[in-house]
Amino acid sequence: MISLTEDCIYHVLQKLKEDREKLFNFLFVNRYFCKTVVPLLYSNPFGQELNHQNECFLINTFLKRLDAEEKNYLRKVNINLSDETERTLFEYETYLEKLSLNDLTGSIRIWLMSRINEEEVSFVDQKPRSTIQMRLGDLKLCLFTGFFDKIREHSLLEFLNTISKTCRHITELGVIIDEQFDKGKFPSYIINIINNQNNLLKFTLSEPRYIGSKIVLSLESQRNSLTSIQLDFVHLCHDHISVLANCSNLKNLRLYYCGGMTLDHCNLILVKSICKVENLTMARNRWSKDITISIISTLGRSLRRLSFDQISSETLESIIAYCPNLKVLEIQFGKFDYLLLKRMKIDHLIIHPIFDLSLDFKELLQDLGRGLPTTIKHFSFITHNPLSSDNLEIFLDNINSCLVSLNFYFEMNDNLLKIILNYILEKKSLKYLGIKKFISLETSMYSLDDELIRKIRDLGVNIFFFEKNYESEDEFYNLMA
C-alpha cells in the first residue's frame, strides 16, 4: 500500500478547509493530522453554520486563552470567569484568518444567554488590551459590519482602531453598512484600515445610504494590489470610476444596484483603463442598456466571464463583436434572438429565468436549445421554480451541442430524472449532472428513485451538488475533477 507524504496530506486537508464537519473527523487520526487540522478549523471559526452548542464551545475555547488581567476586564461588565488558568493544547487565536464581526457578536450573544438568560448585555467603554492587539496582528481576512443592534458604536470603533493600528496583512476586506446606520466616524476608520494594508487583494462594499464615497476613493492606495472589487448600492462618480480604472491588477469587478455611470465615464475613463478585467458582473444597476453595451465594448477584449441582466439582441451583438476571449456567459432568460448565441465560442452558459407569465416558455426553451453554440460544454439552469417535464424535454430535444455537464439549481424529481436519462442515452456525451445541494441522494425530502440514480451513474455520469454561486470557474470545474 502506498502512503501519502505529509505534503500531500496537507494539500488534501486544505481542500476541505470550508467543510468543518469533515475536517473534524481527521482530528483523531494521529498527531500530524491533529496539528494540521486545528489551524484550518480555527482559521474561520465563526463563518460557518454552527448549532448553539458549538457556538458556545468556540467562545469557551477562546476564553480559555485569556490571562488574569483580561478576565478582570470582563468582570467589570459582570461576566465572571474562573480565576484558574486552563492550559490549552494550541494557541487557537493565532490561527484566525477570517473574522466576521456580525458572526462573532451573534455567537457571543448566544454564549451569554446560555449563562445568564439575559437578552441584552452592555459592554463598558474600555480600550482593548494590548495583548489582544498583538494577537490580531496575524489577521489576514476581515469582514466588518455597521449593525449596531449587536454591539455599541464606541466598542466597534475601538475595535476598528485596533485593527487599523495592528493589522497590516489583511488580504480581503468586506464592509457592510446597515440602512439605519448613522455615518459618524465609521468610514474614516475603514479608510485607515485600507490605507494601512500592505497587500489588499479583495474588497467588498455595500452601502445603501451612500455614505461610503470616501471609502471607495481610498482604494487608490491599493491600486497595485487589488485583484477583486465588489460594490453594492454605490453611486459611482467620475473619481470613483477613475480609481477603478487605475487598479492595474484588477481581474474581478462586480457591480450590484449601482448608479451614476454615464456614457462619458465609459468613453473618457474606462476606455483608458489599465486594468484587464476577466470576470465582470453587472446586475440591477440603475443605468441604461446603452451604458451596459458601452462597458462591454470597452472592457470586452480581456473578459473571460460576463454576467449581466440587461439582456437583449443588442447586448449579445456587442459580446460577439468585442469579447473574443469570453468563455462563460451568465444571463437572464428572456425574449430575444437566441440564435445569436451560435456565433459565440463560450464553454459555459448559465441561465437565470425571469418570472414573466407573458413569455411562452416552450417556444423560448426550444429556441435556446437550438441556439447553443457548438463550443459549449457546460449548461447551468438556475431558478427557484423547477421546469415542467414537458419544457425540459423540449429544451433537451433541441440541443445539438455535445454537453459535458448539465446543472440544475432547482428541486429535482423522478420525472425530470427520466428525461435527463433519455438525453444521456441519446447524446452519449454527458459526464456530469449537477443538482441542487440540499437534495441529498441518500436521504431526500424528494424521494428520488434509486434505480434512476443507479442507471445514470452506470452510464458513466457523475452526480454532484451544484451551487448557484462560485467564486471562480475553477471552483466549478474542481467539482467535476
What are the cell numbers at 25? 473527523
The residue whose grid cell reads 488581567 is 69
Which residues, at least 6 apart from 291, have a Cβ–Cβ distance to it below 8 Å? Answer: 261, 262, 263, 266
Mean pLDDT of the chain: 80
Q: How much is the average pLDDT of 432-459? A: 73
Structural domain boundaries enclosing 480: 336-481
Supply φ then ψ for residue 330, to 5 degrees. Answer: -120, 115
Q: What is the DSSP string of 315-336?
A: HHHHHHHH-TT--EEEEEE-SS
Angstrom distance (rounded) from CA 69 to CA 139: 23
* Domain presence at residue 347: yes
φ, ψ of residue 151 in degrees (nearest 5)? -155, 140
Q: Tell me which amino acid residue 160 is.
A: L
* 26 pLDDT above the threshold of 70: yes
Tell me the pLDDT tens digit for each residue of 115-163.
Answer: 654 444 333 333 333 333 434 555 655 555 544 444 456 666 777 787 8
* HEC letters along 185-244: CHHHHHHHHHHCCCCCCEEEEECCCCCCHHHHHHHHHHCCCCCEEEEECCECCHHHHHHH
Q: Residue 427's domain is classified under what CATH number?
A: 3.80.10
Instruction: Return the pLDDT at 76.
Output: 67
> Is there a domain that residue 426 lies in?
yes
333-363 pLDDT, tens digit each: 777 888 999 999 999 999 987 655 556 778 8
Rg of the Cα atoms in the chain: 26
Q: Is the residue at 204 inside a domain?
A: no
Q: What is the pLDDT of residues 267-318, one digit of tens each?
A: 889 988 888 999 999 999 999 999 999 999 999 999 999 999 988 899 999 9
Q: Over range 441-451, report the average pLDDT.
A: 59
Could you read off the pLDDT of 54-98 as tens digits, one per residue?
888 888 888 887 777 777 766 766 666 665 556 777 888 778 777
Share of the chain above pLDDT 90, in %: 39
Confidence of residue 212 (pLDDT cuts 50, 70, 90): low
Judge whether 372 and 341 are in contact, CB under 8 Å.
Answer: yes
In this structure, is residue 3 part of a structural domain? no
pLDDT digits (tens, 9 = 90+) for 360-383: 778 888 999 999 999 999 999 988
What is the rounded distance in angstroms from the CA atom of residue 74 to the CA atom of residue 70? 7
Residue 310: inside a domain: no
Specify if 362 maps to a domain.
Answer: yes
Residues 111 and 116: their CA atoms lie apart, in Å, by: 9
Alpha carbon distance 6, 128 (integer Å): 39
From the list 160, 150, 210, the residue with the least C-alpha distance to 185 is 160
The answer to whether residue 449 is domain-embedded is: yes
More confident residue, 305 or 6: 305
In the predicted structure, residue 112 carries a pLDDT above the cut 80: no
- How sure is the predictor about 166, in pLDDT bands with cuts at 50, 70 and 90? confident
User: 312: which 3 cell numbers?
Assistant: 437583449
Domain count, the chain: 1
Max Cα–Cα distance, the chain, nearest Å: 73
Distances (CA, A) of 408 to 33, 177, 435, 437: 36, 33, 5, 10
Q: Specify if 412 maps to a domain.
A: yes
Predicted confidence (pLDDT) at residue 423 exceeds the cutoff of 90:
yes
Q: 280 or 111: whose pLDDT is higher?
A: 280
The predicted pLDDT at position 359 comes to: 63
